[in-house]
Amino acid sequence: MIATIFGEFKPLRRFGIPIYVVLSAVLLAIRFFVATPYWNSGWTKWASFPTQINSGAKYLFSQEYKLHILGTAYDMPFPELLAYFAALGEVVLPVLLVIGLFSRFAGLGLLAMTCVIQLVYPGAWALHAQWGLAALTIFICGPGIFSLDAGIRKLIKA
């Protein structure tokens, strides 16, 4: 279990340490790339973090946002609860991703959020594909050596 959470993607090591360092720097850039839009969006939803979302977020989830599935628009289920958890995820998961703590979990969470956003805004698939591929990359490859996960992995092995 611990190896799954903090484990590294061993195929990246076969290129040698210098390339692995460069690839880890690329993974760090990818982590920032996928975290930034969620971080920026998340803070617009809070009236008082972490206890109260603002009325605009409640309105969007209850009135504006619709899930477009097979050509039909559906209302969001439990809009206030969903707004709260979406806002919380948009603030917490980017922080975890950037510092590299539980990075695979954060990447998977942002990938799931991207899939839901795609259902809400189906016309923005090109942007969502970029976010989704970035999150999927972190989920598969992990955060690289520039992360707290890598430090924890070293502590566990030592």
Q: Compute CA distances 128 → 75, 84, 132, 152, whole Å.
A: 21, 21, 6, 31
Closest-CA residue to 144 (of 51, 5, 54, 28): 28
Is it the case that residue 2 has pLDDT exceeding 90?
Answer: no
Range of the domain at 144: 1-157
pLDDT single digits (tens) 109-151: 999 999 999 999 999 999 999 999 999 999 999 999 999 999 9
Q: How many domains does the chain have?
A: 1
The more confidently predicted of residues 155 and 99 is 99
Is it the case that residue 102 has pLDDT exceeding 90?
Answer: yes
> With b meaning 16 or more CB within 10 Å and e meaning fewer, what string describes 26-59?
ebbebbebbbebbbebbeebbeeeeeebeeebbe
pTM reported for the whole predicted model = 0.89
Alpha carbons 119 and 65: distance in angstroms, whole number:
10
Is it the case that residue 20 has pLDDT exceeding 70?
Answer: yes
